[in-house]
Amino acid sequence: MGIKGCATGIALTAVVAFLTACHAPPPRPAPSPQAPAQAPAPAASPAPPGPPAGGPTPTANFRIDSARSELRVYVYRAGPMAALGHNHVIANRALEGWVRYAGALEGAAFELQVPCAGFSVDEPVMRSAAGKDFGEAVDAEARRGTLDNMLGASVLDAASHPTILVRSLELTGTPPHLNASVSIELAGHASRHLVPFDLVATSDLLHARGVLELKQSSLGLTPFSIFLGALRVEDTMRLEFDLNAVR
């Protein structure tokens, strides 16, 4: 095979890897066996502590209703060669957690647990509902490849960190329009974010809905990129959540 043929083969291999792995960054390098052991790098300063973990307490008077709650994440292709990739819609309907709320923001708090095992990728119904940016069909093998890479050690590292934890730090605003300062713990990395949402509250039900954009890099993730960025995954994701909590 000539030089031109080799270059073409390498390019096709990289494109196939992108289409099946999508937003998986390169594997984290293992330390050289000959190199002496080094002390781990200092951890980033943790976000201010939120409510204690461990599930509802006597004052946490609502629990997340998994049967009526959903998180959706929209991930977009980018770069001059973006047409060779796919946009993805990712969902999780296995959400758990608790809410403490008595009609006032003072003393209110919540914790949301997002199990990595609950994620699904590119369900045909979800893609159809997501609009023209998700109109391309994605077959079952490609969906499975994307999910496997997303859960792998290079991205969510679900084997070591099976749950994404979202804890409230502060709630502000005037109902129904509120903002939550939250700590997100994902794949061993903690970060702080501001999440706007609308809340409808009754004596027996809390219904929270919100939409926000979040950068993968702000969560400690590295968006996938090849060909010097000509084919890559956009750093910014769109998140939509619809949560119901019952007494």
Strand partners, 87: none
pTM above 0.85, yes or no: no
pLDDT tens for the chain, 247 residues: list them.
443 333 333 333 333 344 434 544 344 444 444 444 444 444 444 444 444 444 444 466 999 999 999 999 999 998 888 787 889 999 999 999 999 999 999 999 999 999 999 999 999 999 999 999 999 999 999 999 999 989 999 999 999 999 999 999 999 999 999 999 999 999 999 999 999 999 999 999 999 999 999 999 999 999 877 887 888 889 999 999 999 999 9
Which residues in 105-174 belong to E strands, given as ranges? Answer: 109-115, 119-121, 163-174
Residue 84 confidence (pLDDT): 78
Residue 226 confidence (pLDDT): 82
Residue 196 confidence (pLDDT): 98
Which residues in 82-124 belong to E strands, given as ranges? Answer: 88-92, 96-100, 109-115, 119-121
- Domain borders along the chain are 3-25+49-246
Indicate the SS3 state at residue 53: coil
Q: Which fold has domain 3-25+49-246?
A: Lipocalin (2.40.128)
Residue 60 confidence (pLDDT): 67
At 209, which helix (H) or strand (E)?
strand 205-215
Q: Which of 109, 113, 111, 75 is nearest to 94 (CA)?
A: 113
Residue 46 confidence (pLDDT): 43
